[in-house]
Structure 1
């Protein structure tokens, strides 16, 4: 390939790690500052336009195969149909829609980090000598635990650690905006059990990384990086208020990683990215995603306008935007599953490695 995998990994991981570490430090040093509403919403106001919304705005440009791009009325109808189904669920069963969104989001977050985990190992070019690591029990355990940890931590910890804060926001979303009479509530027993489950999964994940280091010392840098990343996310979502933590994570960690993954395969950016001209590719990306980003923002505004009579509060735009983001998430996850299949993230490719 004509573009460097190592530069891709650095571009994908560095901004998110730096942003999450900075906000975590702020949460430890000045927790009262991170509780201010303007601080908590700042990453959303800045990040959604930069990467949050655009990271899924080229879904129609993702190739089915190595060269064929997604296009046509069938794709558009399917995408909009999935969005409409999610919005309908919000309208008739808001609490179920929220739970479904949390599950899908957890899978998607883990899905994104699993790709980069596979890429980092392919850079070593040593998997061909160890079929058990590639497709045996070890890889299955490692992949499953990484998927769980990187998905559960950003979604489950805010729900369990900041349970009262999350319940207030959840009830405002499902009740005030969509008229659900049911209340989000988690008993103290369920909260403790949930935290225990997350803790066990994290410990098992770290144990697999220790075993990998012992079996393959040349992967120490990779295993340490993954362990540090998981520890950073655990600390971030355990210390920093959920709105701020998720704003930094979603826009700075998840979205940027997906954009960097997307640049070498999407039609508008492929040539520049594969020749190593990342700034050019990024400029092309933002130019290409601008129309879809504007449409998505308009849809968020339209949803808020539709439910505004129930709230009368401009501040609830953030809640309406979250519901619209959930509608965009389902078809986006299905598109990324197609990317995973094309790039052999979940199984064996003809070349025996992830196809970047």
Structure 2
């Protein structure tokens, strides 16, 4: 893999989407005043366009990165996904509120790791130690998962109650998520995020003073500042939907493109369309399968116990 290929992938799948997100800041700033359905539509569109496909060739990663057999590659990735997916399903069935927190934590870890991998691809050298990369992952993963809890707790709670309410009665779901939105939890979350951001940025600056490349550190700091602004300003569902498609998914696709010799050759030739076509071909079967699974789960998930006879549903009470 040449430096030119890495640079083009970074430009096409990371830097330009970051500029696009910056351009969307004014749009994001007005979304808290719009119906939540606007955010849901943005999330659904992003998932349809790129979100569902971005992980659809993960089963090929060991095959292409480590040279293991196709059977072992499929089995390894499929096994991990089956265990995690099964744990999520069982968790929501047994303890929905705890499972919601666990799902947020897992996403925090996954998205943080993805951003750190993108920084490594870009060649930044101010994160040489494991602890520094781990701190950067805490910051990067926490921005989409934790900052909306601080800036827009009402909509965040709406999502939590809706998710948990798939498995519990509405009143029980509301009570179950109460601890997540307590002042103590939100204060602790703010402390973790602000402290981790300052520590990560400060540690990077110390590395720059010791000889690390300033441009990589400035890029890291600028992206963190952009994501802070995005998740502070934009309504949570809209913000995460746009981030998932425009930021996380595209960066993931870029890293996968590098592992495919045919797609990487297209990048070398400056053929973005060819690289994306190759990815789309590989991703199509499991993307379609993913949509079918989501549809099946949506049909199978319980909607909580029916209200007792004579009970007044929320929103039905007279004003």
Q: Which TM-score bucket, shorter chain as reference?
A: 0.7 to 0.9
Structure 1 counterpart of 2:112? 110
Asked whether the 8 Å contact 1:61–1:266 carries over to 2, the reply is no
CA offset digits 1:170-226 (Å, max 9, x no partner):
112112x11263521222233123212211111112212322332337x22211111
* Cα distance change on mapping 1:53 and 1:215 into 2, 3 Å: same
Q: CA RMSD in A?
A: 2.7
Q: Do residues 254 (structure 1) and 248 (structure 2) align?
A: yes
User: Deviating runs (4+, > 6 A) in structure 1?
Assistant: none
Shift in Å at residue 146 of structure 1? Answer: 1.0
After TM superposition, the score normalised by the length of structure 2 is 0.83
Structure 1 counterpart of 2:317? none
* Cα distance change on mapping 1:311 and 1:157 into 2, 3 Å: farther
Which one of 161, 166, 191 corresponds to residue 171 of structure 1? 161
SS in 2 for 1:56: coil
SS in 1 for 2:259: coil
CA distance, structure 1, for counterparts of residue 123 and residue 40 of structure 2: 36
CA distance, structure 2, for counterparts of residue 249 and residue 98 of structure 1: 20
CA distance, structure 2, for counterparts of residue 95 and residue 309 of structure 1: 15
Alignment of 1:331-350 (within 5 A): none
Structure 1 counterpart of 2:50? 51
Structure 2 counterpart of 1:8? 9
Which one of 269, 281, 286 corresponds to residue 287 of structure 1? 281
Asked whether the 8 Å contact 1:17–1:229 carries over to 2, the reply is yes
Structure 2 counterpart of 1:184? 177
Shift in Å at residue 271 of structure 1? Answer: 4.7
CA distance, structure 2, for counterparts of residue 276 and residue 107 of structure 1: 33
CA distance, structure 2, for counterparts of residue 74 and residue 26 of structure 1: 43
Structure 1 counterpart of 2:103? 101
CA distance, structure 1, for counterparts of residue 176 and residue 203 of structure 2: 39
- Aligned positions, number: 296
Structure 2: where are the runs of 5+ without partners?
307-319
CA distance, structure 2, for counterparts of residue 223 and residue 188 of structure 1: 34
Structure 1: where are the runs of 5+ without partners?
128-132, 313-356
After TM superposition, the score normalised by the length of structure 1 is 0.75
